Structure 1
Amino acid sequence: MTKPMPMQPEIFRAYDIRGKVNEEFFPPNAYDIGLVIGSKLLAQGRNQILLGRDGRLSSPEIKQFLLSGLLDSGCDVIDLGLTPTPVAYFALQQLSVPDAVIVTASHNPGHYNGIKMVVNNCPLSKDEIRAIYEAIEEERYAKNDVQGKCTVYDDILTDFTAAIVKDVKLEKPLRIAIDCGNGVTSLLAESLFSQLGCEVFPLYCELDGNFPNHSPDPTDPENLKALQKLVIDNKLDIGIAFDGDGDRVIAVDCNGKILWPDRIMILLAEQILQQNKNATVVCDIKCSYLLKNSVEAAGGTIALCPTGHSHLKRMTRETGAILGGEFSGHIILRDRWSCHDDGLYAAARLLETLSSRKESCTEIFANIPDSFSTPEYRIPQACHATSVSQLEALMDNAEFPGASLCLIDGMRVDYSDGWGLMRTSNTSPDLTFRFEAESEPRLETIKALFRRLLRDTGIKADLPF
């Protein structure tokens, strides 16, 4: 099997492989990626890997090329079939296999696809992902004389559902809406939450790789409008939305107000820290200072990490954190059996937390600390390299007197009463921005400082803020 198109280095991102199908990421490229990954596993003394895929139209073809490469490396493959990414993570524990590859582009639009990887129960670093590209370009790996074997495991969705139903107990029934966005969580979400005792109002819970109703990114407020309407019209307790592969979760409260993941983490942290005093909670640089305040008030310690699920997983593991999450919706709960970012399990635990409180959901949501904040704004660039160079120019020109700067991921500018952040996205060729402040006038002032910086740096695009 040969490459019809050169491998594009840009698809080897900070924490996975991802690009536009047949423009940046060509399905046959997956063969060489599989060959390299399988060969690396064999060199480390392991010979078995899990394989799953999401519901995108290009995923079956990419998965087939990836499977062929893995088998030609001599590695055995357990095919999980159609599966949400967190279910594949669950299978690592369930089947005692420490390595997995999942064909998915997560929250990206349907014309994207990619590969997420777990090697020896750990996400790959940026350098390790880049090493896959270098190995392919230098043709360091060839077919093994002995081909691996492929077996199919059909029960992982059932196993996963049973594990959550056994673990999560609701003290009172809740009326909820679920928006799967036509992603792969459509396979099990409605059944899972019904078995937990919820009255479920499903929305876009039919698997469709065209994503006909909205893009599979619940962090875009536009994509939550139908969920908000469903919750309000039916007077539901909460609405929950998942991204395309199910490792992200966003919610809307009973009044249709968006519960961003840092607010969800406030509720989870308050509950978990009751039994785990002095524990660490990890959050990414985009999260609210209100999360830090709530964690410390509950007796915990906050630790900050760069944005990206691999950074989050690594820091939660290294610090022994009991909870980790980022503003994009990746949430890791490590106080029981789970140890990966899992939108479905995080949603179930959120419902358990709500049902355990004496107050009504309306009262609980009204008491969540609030501020004036923005969603994540995006300024599209031609390619990832352009966004990196633009960020470098912005940081070189930046002057924010009286602020403290955090540079672990782009630039976060902190004042005593608010903050602003600019960074590059690792999953799309965008510059991203987010702002928060104690008052609306102060929020507008901080945004204006960044607008002036963008204009002074020569960025003439229509600004979203």
Structure 2
Amino acid sequence: MLPKPRADLKPNTADFERIPLVKPTGFREYDARWLFPQEINLLGLTAVGLGMATLFEERGVPKRIVTGHDYRSYSASVKQALINGLLAGGCEVHDIGLALSPMAYFAQFDLDVEGVAMVTASHNDNGWTGIKMGLNRPLTFGPDEMSRLKEIVLSGTSKPAGGGRLIFVPDMAERYMRALADRPKLKRKLKVVAACGNGTAGAFAPQVLEAVGCEVVPLDTQLDYTFPRYNPNPEDMGMLHAIAEAVVQHKADVGFGFDGDGDRCGVVDNEGNEIFADTVGVMLARDISAQHKDAVFVADVKSTGLFMTDPVLIENGAKTLYWKTGHSYMKRYTFEQKALVGFEKSGHFFFQPPLGRGYDDGLVAALAVCDMLQRAPDKTMADLRRALPKTYQSPTMSPHCDDEKKYGVVDRVVAHYQKLAADGGTVAGQKIRDLVTVNGVRVTLEDGTWGLVRASSNKPELVVVVESPVSEANMKAIFADIDGLLSQQPEVGEYNQKIEV
């Protein structure tokens, strides 16, 4: 039995080598993320694995779990420590080696295995590690499972059990890529930029796109865990700008950007314009709703208002529901509502049967864009973008805020706008038309301009997004109001990127 984890251990001490270190804030709403080794050590990861085995037993789920790891210098050792705990807890572990998160989700179906524990920090900076977990495919843990796992691990009450077994699956990457390519070849000749930010997707994305008939221009596809140019994050303007340059230089039809674990996809059109993922979602929803009558979609609260107001979607009889941001929330809600697709502004897209298996896969999203272009042979990606009603939208902006403080800050922001709405006050010179508080607060003004503030689910940050269907000035005006309010909160720090007002 492992000693009870502690949160105050320091590296390069004897206790660090014999006692699990687990910082409680690493257990987030639906993922686990820690700085390694400052916030979790290898024994701490073994404790997490043992805790997962205990949780599976509590929930009556067979203790069979797929494991994989992303391409970071320490991910293989992190995964091995996790596996040690899973085996000690009596799990049958199917290890698929270096993998994308959607490859691990695919393996659950392909191997008929109930659980998953994918070691990845996704697009987080180097130094971070994490685990995406699930016990009921295609879903991943939500707050209920995460809070219970946290209790089990931090209490140190997990007990070893017999019967653990490790099975290495050496060919899962080939099986995954073969399954994605098992479809008719594209009839429209498409030249695509595949940008991977030197992350894990570089080992898989170009091959899949080539296999379906694309001419591929690789960009930063050589695996390099130092991420020498930028973090593999398709919401990062640095990555989007690099894709745009490559698209223009190579006269490509479209540019795709994949994040560090391959479950998200960013898009740049043939003219080098970066298209935010929620706008891509509207374009795909137009295409899909033309094929599927009365289609139901889900969009997260960070996403554009066009899902509700676009005339083509209305004409096609499509219905869109807004829900909480976060891949586990969106995956579960899309599944529960039997929606065709869930679209998240960060680039997580969830294609349900018959279009997919319900989990988020950046390559499935890229193939959907290729299919959309094939069904519009006389249109370019830029043509399809221009066909949408004009809106003025910000990128996702994230000011620093400590994990222990961010939810309190958001609570104060929500209360501020609720009181303002109740008192008939104004924001940026307009009355508040609507407040959505399912996930932070989304403030919508009389002319449809809106702004969102929420707590990041996987980093010590807040999340801010603004949009106006009327003008750039109105978009900047609501951001100025939100930014002014946040500047009054001493816990809020610098932004990762920020629009000028």
Report the TM-score, using the length of structure 2 for normalisation: 0.89
Shift of 1:169: 4.1
1:459 to partner: Cα distance: 6.6
**Structure 2 partner of 1:431:** 462
| Structure 1 segment 334-345 matched on structure 2, within 5 A | 334=352, 335-345=354-364
1:333 pairs, out of 351, 357, 365, with 351
- Output the CA distance in 2 between the equivalents of 1:51 and 1:71: 12
Q: Does 2:441 match 1:411?
A: yes
- Write out per-residue CA displacement over residues 56-109 of structure 1, whole angstroms, 9 at most, x where no aligned residue: 112011101111111111111111000100111111111111211100011111
* Cα distance in 1, alignment partners of residues 22 and 489 from structure 2: 33
- Tell me the residue number matched to 2:38: 23
Q: Would the aligned equivalents of 1:418 and 1:436 in 2 still touch at CA under 8 Å?
A: yes
* Structure 2, gaps ≥5 residues long: 4-17, 426-430
Q: Who is 1:304 aligned against?
A: 322
The answer as to whether partners of 1:168 and 1:348 remain within 8 angstroms in 2 is no
The number of residue pairs the alignment matches comes to 463
Q: Which of the numbers 121, 125, 150 marks the counterpart of 1:133?
A: 150
Shift of 1:366: 2.6
C-alpha contact 1:84 1:247 (8 A) present in aligned 2: yes
For 1:41 and 1:454, locate their aligned partners in 2 and report how far apart those are by CA, in whole Å: 41
Please give the residue correspondences for 1:354-373 in structure 2 after superposition, counting only pairs within 5 Å: 354-361=373-380, 362-373=382-393
CA deviation after TM superposition for structure 1 residue 421, in Å: 0.7
Distance in 2 (alpha carbons) for counterparts of 1:277 and 1:138: 51
Q: Distance in 1 between matches of 2:281 and 2:317?
A: 15
Amino acid in the other structure paired with 1:50: V
The amino acid across from 1:170 in the alignment is: L
Is contact 1:18-1:25 (8 Å) kept? no
CA distance in 2, matches of 1:256, 1:229: 7
Matching of residues 202-213 of structure 1 within 5 Å: 202-213=218-229
Q: Secondary structure at the match of 1:218?
A: coil
TM-aligned CA distance change 1:20 to 1:462, over 3 Å: closer
- Report the equivalent of 1:347: 366
CA contact (8 A) 1:380 1:429 kept: yes
Alpha-carbon separation, structure 2, partners of 1:244 and 1:358: 32
> Superposition RMSD on alpha carbons, in Å?
1.8
What residue in structure 1 maps to residue 55 of structure 2? 40
Q: Distance in 2 between the 1:28 and 1:292 partners?
A: 49
CA distance in 1, matches of 2:458, 2:305: 25
Which of 389, 393, 404 is equivalent to 1:385? 404
Cα distance change on mapping 1:223 and 1:117 into 2, 3 Å: same
Q: Is the 8 A contact 2:405 2:491 kept in 1?
A: no
User: Which residues of 2 match residues 35-434 of structure 1 at below 5 A?
Assistant: 35-43=50-58, 44-121=60-137, 122-144=139-161, 146-167=162-183, 169-294=185-310, 295-334=313-352, 335-361=354-380, 362-381=382-401, 383-398=402-417, 399=420, 401=425, 402-403=431-432, 404-415=434-445, 416-434=447-465
1:368 deviates by 3.2
Between stretches 24-33 and 108-117, larger displacement belongs to: 24-33
8 Å CA contact retained: 2:254, 2:269: yes
Which structure 1 residue ranges, 5 or more long, are not aligned? none
Say if 2:102 and 2:359, in contact at 8 Å, map to a contact too: yes
Aligned letter for 1:322? L
Give me the whole-angstrom Cα distance separating, in 1, the residues matched to 2:476 and 2:154.
Answer: 48
CA–CA separation in structure 1 for the residues paired with 2:261 and 2:128: 13
Counterparts of 1:13 and 1:357 in 2: how far apart (Å)? 42
Cα distance between partner residues in 2 of 1:435 and 1:133: 34
* Residue 462 of structure 1: how far off its partner (Å): 5.5
Deviation at 1:125, TM superposition (A): 1.6
Instruction: Report the CA distance between 1:386 and its aligned residue.
Output: 1.7
Partners of 1:45 and 1:20 in 2: CA distance: 30
1:9 aligned onto 2:24: yes
Kept in 2: contact 1:54–1:103 (CA 8 A): yes
The whole-number CA distance in structure 2 between the counterparts of 1:214 and 1:444 is 27
Q: How much has 1:187 moved relative to structure 2?
A: 1.4
Q: Does 1:453 align with 2:485?
A: yes
Going from structure 1 to structure 2, the CA distance change for 1:459 and 1:109 (only over 3 Å counts) comes to closer
Identity of aligned pairs, percent? 30
Give the 3-state SS of the residue equivalent to 1:214 in structure 2. coil
Aligned equivalents of 1:462, 1:98: Cα separation in 2: 41
Please give the alpha-carbon distance, in whole angstroms, between the structure 2 residues aligned to 1:388 and 1:443: 25
Superposition deviation, residue 154 in structure 1: 1.7
